Amino acid sequence: MRYIRPLTIEDAVGQLVGASGTAAILAGGSDLLVRMKGGFVEPDLIIDIKAIDALSEIRETAEGFSIGAAVPCAVLGENKALRQAWPGVVEAAKLIGSKQVQGRCTIVGNLCNASPAADSVPAMVAAGAKAVVAGPSGKRTIAVESVPTAPGRTSLAKGEIIEAILLDKREPRAGDAYLRFIPRTEMDIAVVSAGVNLTLDEAGVVKTARVALGAAAPTVLLVEEAAEVLVGSRLDEATLERLAKVCAGACRPIDDKRGTIEFRRKVAGVLAGRAATTAYERAGGK
Amino acid sequence: MAGVAVSTTINGDHVEYLCQPDETLLEVLRDRLGLTGAKEGCGTGDCGACSVIVDDRLVCSCLVLGAEAEGRQVETIEGMAHGEKLHPLQQKFLEHAALQCGICTPGFLIAAKDLLAKNPDPTEEEIRFGLAGNLCRCTGYDKIVRAVQDAAGVMRG
């Protein structure tokens, strides 16, 4: 086993491409070190990406925000501009683990770990976030929802690293929210979760919507039919009932000790409605 | 496995060590440097008994590689008291009997120090949420919360 700390993304990609055996990217380590400890992975090469300067920054650009792959979730919560623009993404990132874990864990790590129950992922998908992928043939930008392909699996090819997450600049009258169900108050993994992102017109009618569900299928679900229910509405009771029904129908959950299929379907609908209501209020709707 | 040479600062002292690439900072502290205050409870970041502060961030040292400490500032429980003079949190943990077996105590003290550095006047709820990454199977937490509240008052002066 070797540990290296490249200074550029090009070097990191080169090391990853040239690695014989298994290589692992280390940012926060809150998944990787647990899996190493449990004997589930034994990488031949650990590539610590935290010395690559650009990866530890949140940049505000003309297009919006660029969040580097090594930025811990605690730093997201401390960024006022990001909190104001994307409160749903930030609240989801802040739900991951304890203070200790918050100081290390990253949203890119959460995405690449590819757990169906990842908290930040439905919020990013609802937000329409993009991932910047650096690889041997250059860079490409892809939708966050196209990264996880199955529990623990991603669409990234050998040699590819996600270097940043992009969030759009906010239009006026826009809001997002994320909620999860856990049987306690914190320090737990979502039994089921929902992220909703809305923009409103001047009259307070929903103009655009994105609804994403977590822990409801092998990968995060972007429920387009649920967005269609919300567009054109002011989130009246009948709309929220239809939203709940559509979300419950879109789920393909598993039965396990944490929740039954029936429970997950029902709660997915309830959480989608509540997250939509909060997103609507954050967008200035009444 | 090739060793990694690390140069770092621990409790204000310059420290150099060699460690294996897969060795955690907790293992380095305890087994190489003799700093046995940080404890291994779970080894998976759930219990907080190994809490240390790295560059002003509270972390579980079991989820940090020893190699990652290169060039960083690490604070452990061993740096908390000044000689014989206890830190106000340590003093209040004693006065309130906020410990029984003591395994979780170094982690709670470090986490509480980090909490009060960022929020000198926390509510009870903020303390309970702030310390939710530290598990204690003895006290029921109430005495710990009271000790932190009392210490916060002393530290605000």
Q: How confident is the model at residue B2 (pLDDT cuts 50, 70, 90)?
A: confident
Cβ separation A98–B65 shorter than 8 A: no
Mean pLDDT value across residues B92-98 = 97
Taking CB atoms and an 8 Å cutoff, what residues of chain A touch B133? 97-101, 187
Lowest mean pLDDT among A174-188, A191-205, B51-65, B102-116: A174-188
Q: Which of A3, A29, A38 sits opposite B21 (nearest CB)?
A: A3
B61 and chain A: CB distance < 8 Å anywhere? no
Q: Which among A228, A234, A233, A235 is positioned nearest to A210, based on CA atoms? A: A228
Q: Which of B21, B67, B111 sits opposite A99 (nearest CB)?
A: B111
Cβ separation B22–A5 shorter than 8 A: no
Q: Which CATH architecture has domain A174-282?
A: 2-Layer Sandwich (3.30)
3-state class of B133 per DSSP?
coil
Please give the Cα distance from A10 to A14 (Å, whole number): 6
DSSP, res B19: E
Q: Which among B64, B23, B72 is positioned nearest to A1, based on CA atoms? A: B23
Per-residue model confidence as pLDDT tens digits over A29-69: 999 999 999 999 999 999 999 999 999 999 999 999 999 99
C-alpha distances (whole Å) from A175 to each of A22, A285, B43, B57 are 41, 9, 39, 30
Torsion sign over Cα A145, A198, A184, A75: positive
3-state class of B62 per DSSP?
helix
What is the residue type of A150?
Answer: A
Please give the Cα distance from A109 to A105 (Å, whole number): 7
Please give the Cα distance from B100 to B113 (Å, whole number): 20
Contact A228, A208 (CB under 8 A): no
Q: List CB contacts of A40: < 8 A, sequence separation 6 or more.
A: none
Positions of chain A with pLDDT under 70: none
> Residue-wise over A123-145: b if at least 16 C-beta within 10 A, else e?
bbbbbbbbbbbbbeeeeeeeebb
C-alpha distances (whole Å) from B137 to each of B39, B104, B124 are 15, 9, 20
Cβ separation A33–B132 shorter than 8 A: no
Taking CB atoms and an 8 Å cutoff, what residues of chain A touch B28? none
Mutation pick from A99, A184, A189 vs chain B, by most beta carbons of B within 10 Å, is A99
The residue ranges of every structural domain in chain A are: 59-168, 174-282
Contact A190, A182 (CB under 8 A): yes
User: Given the DSSP bridges, would you call strands A45-48 and A23-26 parallel, antiparallel or unpaired?
Assistant: parallel
Q: How confident is the model at residue B1 (pLDDT cuts 50, 70, 90)?
A: low
Mutation pick from A1, A34, A98, A106 vs chain B, by most beta carbons of B within 10 Å, is A98
Average pLDDT, chain B: 97
Mean pLDDT value across residues B44-58 = 97
Cβ separation A1–B45 shorter than 8 A: no
Contact B49, B107 (CB under 8 A): yes
pLDDT recorded at residue A186 = 80
Chain A / chain B CB contacts < 8 angstroms = 87
pLDDT recorded at residue A187 = 84
C-alpha distances (whole Å) from A57 to each of A50, A99, A141, A144, A257 are 10, 20, 18, 19, 39
Please give the Cα distance from A86 to A282 (Å, whole number): 10
Taking CB atoms and an 8 Å cutoff, what residues of chain B touch A74? 57
Per-residue model confidence as pLDDT tens digits over B19-39: 999 999 999 999 999 999 999
Q: How far is B110 from chain A (nearest CA, A)?
A: 11
pLDDT recorded at residue A115 = 96
Q: How far is B23 from chain A (nearest CA, A)?
A: 10
Q: Which of B45, B67, B70 sits opposite A100 (nearest CB)?
A: B45
SS3 string of chain A? Answer: CEEECCCCHHHHHHHHHHCCCCEEEECCCCCHHHHHHCCCCCCCEEEECCCCHHHHCEEECCCEEEEECCCCHHHHHHCHHHHHHCHHHHHHHCCCCCHHHHCCCCHHHHHHHCCCCCCHHHHHHHCCCEEEEEECCEEEEEEHHHCEEECCEECCCCCCEEEEEEEECCCCCEEEEEEEECCCCCCCCCCEEEEEEEEECCCCCEEEEEEEEECCCCCCEECHHHHHHHCCCCCCHHHHHHHHHHHHHHCCCCCECCECHHHHHHHHHHHHHHHHHHHHHHCCCC
Cβ separation B65–A30 shorter than 8 A: no
Taking CB atoms and an 8 Å cutoff, what residues of chain B touch A186? 129, 132
Cβ separation B133–A104 shorter than 8 A: no
**Which B residues 63-82 touch A at CB under 8 Å?**
63-65, 67-68, 70
Distance spanning both ends of chain A, measured CA to CA: 57
Domains of chain B and CATH, by start:
4-78 (3.10.20.30), 88-156 (1.10.150.120)
Cβ separation A100–B59 shorter than 8 A: yes
Asked if domains A59-168 and A174-282 share a fold, the reply is no
How large a percentage of chain B has pLDDT more than 90? Answer: 98
Is the domain spanning A59-168 CATH 3.30.465.10? The answer is yes
pLDDT recorded at residue A185 = 80
Q: List CB contacts of A180: < 8 A, sequence separation 6 or more.
A: A92, A95, A119, A190, A191, A192, A193, A194, A214, A215, A271
pTM over 0.80: yes
Mutation pick from B8, B63, B73 vs chain A, by most beta carbons of A within 10 Å, is B63
